[in-house]
Amino acid sequence: MTDVADSSSIRRLSEWDAAELRTLTEEYGSPLYVLDLERVRQNYRRLVAAFPDADVLYAVKANALGDVLSTLREAGAGLECASAGEVKRALEAGASGSEIHYTAVNPPAGDLDWIVDAWGDHPALTVTAGSADTIDRLADRGYDGRLCLRVNPGIGAGHHEKVRTGAAAKFGVPAERAVDVLEDAADRGFDVVGIHAHVGSGVSSDQLDAHREFVARMGDLARDVAGAVGDLEFVDVGGGFGVPYREDEEPLVLESVADAIRDALGAVDARLTIEPGRYVVADAGVLLTEVNTVKDARETTVVGVDAGMTTLIRPAMYDAYHPIRNLAADAAASSGEGGRETVPQTVAGPICESGDVFCADRELPVSERGDILAIGNAGAYGYEMANQYNSRPRPASVVRGDGDVRLARRRETVADVTRPEREARRISAADRKTDDPRASDSDNDLVR
């Protein structure tokens, strides 16, 4: 097995067509997310080829755009969902219950109510519980269907401490208690089908030893569970496969990772399941943003853009690095005659927070007002974590695929931001008029 990744296993920001991206900004405005559906397909196929003996479920939380889910469903992917809303999206994308895993973390009552109702129509749905308490709450609602237990193996890995879930107390039942919890669930009539754990997000090559130990513990636990409650259908070791964000980083050799996982898991009478998200969509997306201000500060040049931490929060939240490229025609020739020189620049957004920066003192071609900057590897956890802080509307998204580019999500307006307040006032006025709060039930349904 080669230890060198194929060049096609990562799409660098430099490989996107600058003229096409500039044209998209002219047509659809800025900020703008662009997602390449063919790249999504390619990444999924690469995973299936590396893990031919496993079920590959896409982690919807990485990018829940309907076009992404439909594309992956057509390619044969199952869907791992972290909320009732994601399950609803999965069903709308054409997934059947047997192709959906609902992995709850401290699920709100409304989520469990919705899931149990959906289970009535989709009895093959798998529910993953992360505590004995969640199992009790499911039983209280009459659920005794397919149950997977999320366990905490005590090992975490990932690109930032905030995403290392494998040892965090929030996630899963301690592994040493898992057999007892599952024995109790089986005695109560649940259909125990699997165990699940997730080491963390963005696991890099230098963290693979920790990942192997994590998988080995899952294999040991699976054998213990099989001895106590019978054979499992699957052992789910999550996803977390990292992608290179920095230009000089090399991608994971996926085939070697797959071999290591199989070896670490050992002999189990259950099917391996993985749940990649970032690996599928990260390099399939870019964020486009327009320069609106260039300011010489004391120690740097500040380049103000119309995207901010409300548009892409990863740099502010995780100190995450994203490649940045100036798409101006002469910026591409910055190292040659007639091109722009490069200078240290701090690219900052319009949010009233000092953390609202995409990079600090990074060498980039000199920026000018009106330039379009592309921020790479924005397909994962970009729009999904976007928000309306400072009353800023969320951006639009376009998708490209099958030779076409189209709007996939319209740009929000300030009216969209304030709509729940206007609807609340209308509902309150209707309640006062009728003196019967039940009269506005249909309106409440509208704003939920």
Residue 352 bears catalytic tag: yes
Catalytic residue among 81, 148, 352, 359: 352
**Can you give the chain as a three-state secondary structure string?**
CCCCCCHHHCCCHHHCCHHHHHHHHHHHCCCEEEEEHHHHHHHHHHHHHHCCCEEEEEEHHHCCCHHHHHHHHHHCCEEEECCHHHHHHHHHCCCCHHHEEEECCCCCHHHHHHHHHHHHHCCCCEEEECCHHHHHHHHHCCCCCEEEEEEECCCCCCCCHHHCCCCCCCCCEEHHHHHHHHHHHHHCCCEEEEEECCCCCCECHHHHHHHHHHHHHHHHHHHHHHHHHCCCCEEECCCCECCCCCCCCCCCCHHHHHHHHHHHHCCCCCEEEECCCHHHHHHHEEEEEEEEEEEECCCCEEEEECCCCCCCCHHHHHCCCCCEEECCCCCCCCCCCCCCCEEEEEEECCCCCCCCEEEEEEEEECCCCCCEEEECCCCCCCHHHCCCHHHCCCCEEEEEECCEEEEEECCCCHHHHHHHHHHHHHHHHHHHHHCCHHHHHHHHHHHC
Residue 276 marked in a binding site: yes
Residue 383 marked in a binding site: no
Residue 389 marked in a binding site: no
Residue 278 marked in a binding site: yes
Residue 353 marked in a binding site: yes
Residue 314 marked in a binding site: yes
Residue 381 marked in a binding site: yes
| Catalytic residue numbers, as ranges | 352
Q: Mark the binding-site residues for substrate, compressed into ranges.
A: 278, 314, 318, 353, 381
Q: Mark the binding-site residues, compressed into ranges.
A: 240, 275-278, 314, 318, 353, 381
Q: Mark the binding-site residues for pyridoxal 5'-phosphate, compressed into ranges.
A: 240, 275-278, 381
